[in-house]
């Protein structure tokens, strides 16, 4: 395993992050999530591989992911050996502090997350989405306050427009509050829109990207004809709002991944992750695992070196599209 610093901070993280949306009570969230018993081998494997950066969220399994992750830390490793990240914003209930990023929500949700995780602090606390209904200064001051209270060590953001992130970061810096050190954004071979504005902003700010869905829900990890994934619900080709997760033109990208993987004699997932990892603003792709080979391939990607010709072939097939993760 390789390790790196998250942004300009001193926080050291593994270069592969364990995405914990895969774990939870299926009756309280997505039906494909693994319960604690089924997830046990993956947690043990992550520890054995040196994957010390674990990312979850309050909304994953409506809290059940955090409970499973907290139990796993106590059973399979030590709290001091894990960089633990969680998030707030999405609705956890009907109360005024159970969604969004208001001061009340930040204060209520960090305490609820700490209770479920069974710890007195999280290393990285992230706003899951931009909250248009709360003043930016209110959110950033509240996040600063939970840092000063010792409940949170660092803060990050996720999945928003670059101008929104810039305004939040500016509010923190102007008022002497804690700034973001990370941006959890959607980035893969078939979703590269962050390269246009967000990545240059992150480089200028000294903030790391920790991409989610770096394998595009598995689309770039298997031949094009096998692109369907169990993560889908009514339509596995669209997000919950019915927007496409991939377009027909992406077949050319997947075919290039398949060819390059064959030439390197490695799995397609290793090529796709090696491409993500080579971007200098990326610290640690977040890999959601439901099978043992998912983590093995992710770690093996650290040893894959893509040639300039490989990169050119992968880059040339990309077709611009609208991001799918904004409301």
pTM: 0.92
Q: Tell me, yes or no, whether 241 lies in a domain.
A: no
Given the residues 3, 60, 121, 318, select the one marked as catalytic. Answer: 60
Q: Tell me, yes or no, whether 326 lies in a domain.
A: no
Q: Rounded distance, CA 85 to CA 323, Å?
A: 24
How many domains are there within the chain? 1
Q: Tell me, yes or no, whether 17 lies in a domain.
A: yes
Q: Tell me, yes or no, whether 229 lies in a domain.
A: no
Q: Tell me, yes or no, whether 226 lies in a domain.
A: no
- What is the H or E stretch that residue 84 is in? strand 83-88
Tell me the average pLDDT across 41-65. Answer: 96
Q: What is the pLDDT of residues 94-147, one digit of tens each?
A: 999 988 999 999 999 999 999 999 999 999 999 999 999 999 999 999 999 999
DSSP collapsed to 3 states, 165-229: HHHHHHHHHHHCCCCEEEEECECECCECHHHCCHHHHHHHHCCEECCECCCCCCHHHCCHHHCCC
Q: 124 lies in which domain range?
A: 3-218+275-303
Q: Tell me, yes or no, whether 294 lies in a domain.
A: yes
Q: Tell me, yes or no, whether 15 lies in a domain.
A: yes
Q: What is the pLDDT of residues 61-94, one digit of tens each?
A: 999 999 999 999 999 999 999 999 999 999 899 9
How confident is the model at residue 322, as a pLDDT?
Answer: 79
Q: Tell me, yes or no, whether 42 lies in a domain.
A: yes
Tell me the average pLDDT across 205-217. Answer: 95
Q: Rounded distance, CA 145 to CA 274, Å?
A: 38
pLDDT at 180 over 50: yes
Known catalytic membership, residue 60:
yes
Q: Rounded distance, CA 206 to CA 224, Å?
A: 36
> Which two three-digit tokens encode residue 246?
């991939």
Q: Rounded distance, CA 36 to CA 216, Å?
A: 25
pLDDT at 188 over 60: yes
Q: What is the CATH number of the domain that holds 287?
A: 3.20.20.100
Burial of 150 from C-beta contacts in 10 A (0-12 / 13-18 / 19+): exposed
Q: Rounded distance, CA 76 to CA 85, Å?
A: 17
How confident is the model at residue 226, as a pLDDT?
Answer: 80
The mean pLDDT value of the chain amounts to 92
pLDDT at 242 over 70: no
């Amino acid at each position: 395993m390789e390790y790196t610093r998250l942004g300009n901070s001193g926080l050291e993280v593994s270069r592969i992050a364990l995405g914990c949306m895969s774990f939870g009570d299926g009756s309280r969230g997505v039906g494909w999530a693994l319960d604690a018993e089924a997830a046990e081998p993956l947690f043990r494997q992550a520890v054995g591989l040196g994957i010390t950066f674990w990312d979850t969220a309050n909304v994953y399994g409506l809290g059940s992911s955090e409970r499973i992750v907290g139990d796993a830390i106590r059973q399979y490793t030590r709290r001091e050996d894990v960089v633990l990240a969680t998030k707030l914003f999405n609705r956890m209930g009907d109360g005024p502090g159970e969604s969004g990023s208001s001061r009340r929500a930040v204060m209520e949700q960090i305490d609820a997350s700490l209770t479920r995780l069974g710890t007195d602090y999280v290393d990285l606390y992230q706003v899951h989405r931009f909250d248009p209904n709360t003043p930016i200064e209110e959110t950033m001051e509240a996040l600063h306050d939970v840092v000063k209270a010792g409940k949170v060590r660092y803060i990050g953001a996720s999945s928003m427009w670059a101008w929104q992130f810039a305004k939040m970061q500016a509010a923190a810096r102007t008022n002497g509050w804690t700034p973001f050190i990370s941006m959890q954004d959607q980035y893969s071979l078939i979703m590269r829109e962050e390269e246009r504005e967000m990545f240059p902003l992150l480089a200028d700010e000294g903030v790391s990207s920790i991409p989610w869905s770096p394998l595009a829900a598995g689309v770039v990890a298997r031949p094009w004809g096998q692109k369907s994934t169990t993560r889908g619900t009514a339509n596995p080709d669209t997000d919950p709002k019915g927007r496409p997760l991939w377009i027909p033109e992406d077949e050319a990208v997947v075919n290039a991944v398949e060819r390059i993987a064959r030439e390197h004699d490695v799995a397609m997932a290793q090529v796709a992750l090696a491409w993500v990892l080579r971007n200098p603003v990326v610290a640690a792709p977040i890999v959601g695992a439901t099978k043992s080979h998912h983590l093995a391939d992710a770690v093996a990607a650290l040893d894959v070196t893509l040639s300039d010709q490989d990169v050119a072939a992968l880059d040339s097939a990309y077709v611009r599209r609208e991001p799918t993760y904004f409301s």
